[in-house]
Amino acid sequence: MNSKAKTLEVARLSIDNFLVRNFKRGGTYWWVFTEPGRKEGESLWTKDEAEAHLDCFRDYCRRHGIEFLVIWELQQRGSWHANCLVNRRLDVIWLRAWMVERGWGQQMRVEWVTCRPSFEPGKGWTSDMRPARRLASYLTKYLTKSLTGVVGASRKKVFGGSASAKSGTTAFKWMPEIRAGA
């Protein structure tokens, strides 16, 4: 399997594991931060500049023990969106003002993604993971685009987060009976 496919599979697993793990703790919050609009002639952020603008949010999460995962999306207009999954509720009024002070636009989205209880005859009440699966598919779509050569996309990793959010590395083995380097 090539490197892009491995990276994509690790990213899919990371998103899926993050959502499942945090549903057991009360759900996941999905934040989307948008690069501010530009006047004609003003340049848009590069991926490195967008990541630098998001460092304040990452630092805040790390300092407060908030688990997070970031998936970058390159919009058609050429600006970057940061799709952030976090495992705690944050005050939207405070966070919007705080992020705008740090260069992000007023446009911001937040959604609480949780499992819905459903009743299955013979099984009783179970958790409906369909909302999580839809979100994971939606976010993985952007990973797929950035790994297949979207213009303006950086070759560096397309997702990131806290150390506990990652589910693996690209050094995993598909066949356990074959040792690495053998």
What pLDDT was estimated at residue 146?
57
Is the residue at 168 inside a domain?
A: no
Low-confidence stretches of the chain (pLDDT < 50) are 150-158, 163, 166-182
Counted domains in the chain: 1
Is the residue at 30 inside a domain?
A: yes
What pLDDT was estimated at residue 177?
45
Is the residue at 129 inside a domain?
A: yes
CA dihedral 110→113→70→172, nearest 10 degrees, is 180
Is the residue at 181 inside a domain?
A: no
CATH number of the domain to which 72 belongs = 3.30.70
What pLDDT was estimated at residue 113?
81
Average pLDDT over the chain, rounded to an integer: 76
Is the residue at 176 inside a domain?
A: no
Count of all residues that appear for the chain in the document: 182
The CB-side HSE value for 35 (13 A sphere, CA atoms) comes to 24
What domain range includes position 50? 3-162
